[in-house]
Amino acid sequence: MRGIEAALKVWQDVKAGKFASESIRSVADSLSPGDLVLASSLVYCTLRRQFLWKEIYSHFLRVSPGGISQYAGDALCLGTAGILELRTFVPKVLVNGLVQELKKRGDERGAKIVNAVLRRVAEEGWLQLKKIEESGAPKDQALAAGVPGWVVSSWRNSWGDQGKKLLKMARIRPYSSFRISPGTAPGDLSSAAEKKGIRCWKSPLVPNALRLAATIYPPEFPGYAEGRATPQTESSMLVGEVMKKVYKGGSILELCAGRGIKTGHILSLFPDARVESFELSPAKSKAAMREMERLGKKSNHIITTGDALSLVPAVHPALISLDAPCSGSGTWNRHPEGKWRLTPEKLDFLASLQINLLRRAVSLLAPGGIVVYSTCSLLKNENENVVAQVISENANLVEMSFPFSGARFRKGRPWGTYVWPELPWLDGFYMAVIMKKSGGKAIDG
């Protein structure tokens, strides 16, 4: 399989509901390193601003978009993105590759249309791109940033002038960062990475973390296979660092373990604590167990598959991590498919779920216990509104001061704190530290 063929396959998988990273992993073994880079770069640059590319190629399309095959439409979108954003690839080679793929599928008409339109894009598309990027119209700003228009409106309402900065940050190309396990010197892995041509250095923001100057396939990084290095954004790592700052001893409960990335960090930060994790998805639960095996961390830890809204921990926890299922709006640079699947209705559903999960978390807390509520979202509906709702219902709850400050943090309005996604290693995150006063009671079921 070649890179352009792989990119078209992955694009179709994403349209069918898969995550791009999942689909790319499924074809990685059949690609050369160069073709893997081409396919990944092409898919992600297209996904981040797919409606912008459709707007541009439609300007040169002389037939109705409904009058071409779906596959030709995919080729036009990928080709336009590749020509206008991936400057390292020769447009003629990209166009010819896409045309040949259409011919292999027997779509001769589509091949001719794609050839003609993409050659016009290569000649004049940059003028259309410049016009849109320089426009002050809300629709054009949303297209240029690669953010749904209704989300742009939400950011403006929540952040005012700061919302404009979020639109610029939405175009930052994400880079990899790795969490280094205890007992491993970051400098040793950094040196090993440099020998493989991977440029990296210690993070000034998070202890025991390395920043890379690019995005990398995790197994290629030294120490990954042995469990000494784990890909994790610095924003995500900060959740564990916040827990470490507020921890006063006792059992720890993780309400939504996901695939176990934060679980591994929690276990490394609290090696002597009893840690229990809940995860609704059997597939994610199995992935978390495999992650614990890779890290060599199975003692003092229990993963239970089931609904966190009804499961009961073996011991009342003193500290709970609730990394709630969310829109992922703070990670859209890294996982761009998510933004095109989010609707206002789905956001309302997520906010309702988050409120119920936070209610459940504080109900399970022992008196004096603490819950660290977090999302990888920049939408107020999932953050301040959730915390405000739950705190207003329970007089025994109080928000604690956030233990970090600095240029990368923004105070919520009024609850919680945001990690601002202004660097390639930082996703947009939100955290709130909530304590149950000693007068409160924990429930038993």
For 32-50, write each residue's pLDDT tens digit.
888 888 899 999 999 999 9
- Sequence ranges of the domains in the chain: 3-134, 138-171, 177-231, 234-436
User: What letter does residue 174 receive in the DSSP assignment?
Assistant: P
Contacts 24+ apart (CB under 8 A), 130-139: 132/52, 132/55, 132/56
Which H helix or E strand runs over 144?
Answer: helix 138-145
Token pair of 267 as six digits: 């276990």
- Which homologous superfamily does the CATH classification assign to the domain defined by 234-436? Vaccinia Virus protein VP39 (3.40.50.150)
Token pair of 288 as six digits: 């978390």
Pairing of strands 417-419, 429-436: antiparallel
Region 58-71 average pLDDT: 90
Please check whether residue 295 is in contact with residue 230, taking contact to mean a CB–CB distance below 8 angstroms: yes
The closest of 358, 356, 391 to 372, measured between CA atoms, is 358
Please tell me whether the peptide bond between 414 and the residue prior to it is cis, using omega within 30 degrees of 0: yes
Cα–Cα distance for residue pair 265/258, rounded to 1 Å: 13
Region 21-30 average pLDDT: 89
Region 251-260 average pLDDT: 96
| Residue 66: predicted pLDDT | 81
Pick the CATH number of 177-231 from 3.40.50.2300, 3.30.70.1170, 3.40.50.300, 1.10.10.10: 3.30.70.1170
| Residue 299: predicted pLDDT | 67
- Hey, how many other C-beta atoms are within 10 angstroms of the C-beta on 346? 11
Cα–Cα distance for residue pair 238/242, rounded to 1 Å: 6
Which amino acid appears at position 54 of this protein? K
Q: Identify the sign of the CA torsion 158, 162, 164, 167.
A: negative
Question: Is the confidence at residue 67, as pLDDT, over 90?
Answer: no
**Chain position carrying tokens 């000649």:** 123
Question: Is the confidence at residue 8, as pLDDT, over 80?
Answer: yes
Cα–Cα distance for residue pair 123/155, rounded to 1 Å: 35
Q: Could you tell me the CA-to-CA distances from 200 to 172, 297, 373, 413, 425 in Å, in that order?
A: 18, 26, 31, 36, 12
Contacts 24+ apart (CB under 8 A), 354-357: 354/324, 354/325, 354/326, 354/382, 354/386, 355/386, 355/389, 355/390, 356/309, 357/255, 357/256, 357/308, 357/309, 357/322, 357/324, 357/325
pTM: 0.91
**3-class SS shares of the chain: helix, strand, coil, % to 5:** 50, 10, 35
Please check whether residue 223 is in contact with residue 194, taking contact to mean a CB–CB distance below 8 angstroms: no
Burial class (CB in 10 A: 0-12, 13-18, 19+), 283: exposed
Chain centroid to Cα 404, Å, comes to 22
Cα–Cα distance for residue pair 354/247, rounded to 1 Å: 23
Chain centroid to Cα 43, Å, comes to 16
Which residues, listed in sequence order, are joined to residue 434 by a DSSP beta bridge? 371, 399
Tell me: the pLDDT tens digits for 186-245?
A: 999 999 999 999 999 999 999 999 999 998 889 999 999 999 999 999 999 999 999 999
Please check whether residue 71 is in contact with residue 8, taking contact to mean a CB–CB distance below 8 angstroms: yes
Q: Has domain 3-134 been given CATH number 1.10.940.10?
A: yes
| Residue 37: predicted pLDDT | 86
| Residue 442: predicted pLDDT | 64
Average pLDDT, the chain: 93
Token pair of 283 as six digits: 């597939």
The backbone torsions φ and ψ at residue 438, rounded to the nearest 5 degrees and listed phi first, read -60, -20
| Residue 136: predicted pLDDT | 86
3-state secondary structure 387-418: HHHHHHHCCCEEECCCCCCCCCEEECCCCCEE
Q: List helix spans (H) across 247-393.
A: 261-269, 282-295, 337-341, 344-364, 384-393
Question: Is the confidence at residue 445, as pLDDT, over 60?
Answer: no
Burial class (CB in 10 A: 0-12, 13-18, 19+), 424: buried
The radius of gyration computed from the CA coordinates of the chain, to the nearest angstrom, equals 23
Tell me: the pLDDT tens digits for 89-129?
A: 788 889 999 999 999 999 999 999 999 999 999 999 999 99
Question: Is the confidence at residue 182, as pLDDT, over 70?
Answer: yes
Question: Is the confidence at residue 376, as pLDDT, over 60?
Answer: yes
Token pair of 328 as six digits: 């992922």
Cα–Cα distance for residue pair 49/81, rounded to 1 Å: 8
Do the domains at 3-134 and 234-436 have one common CATH topology? no
Tell me: the pLDDT tens digits for 290-345?
A: 999 999 977 668 999 999 999 999 988 999 999 999 999 999 999 999 999 999 99
**Chain position carrying tokens 């953010």:** 147
Tell me: the pLDDT tens digits for 387-419?
A: 999 999 999 999 999 999 999 999 998 999 999
Tell me: the pLDDT tens digits for 119-156?
A: 999 999 999 999 999 998 989 999 999 999 999 999 99
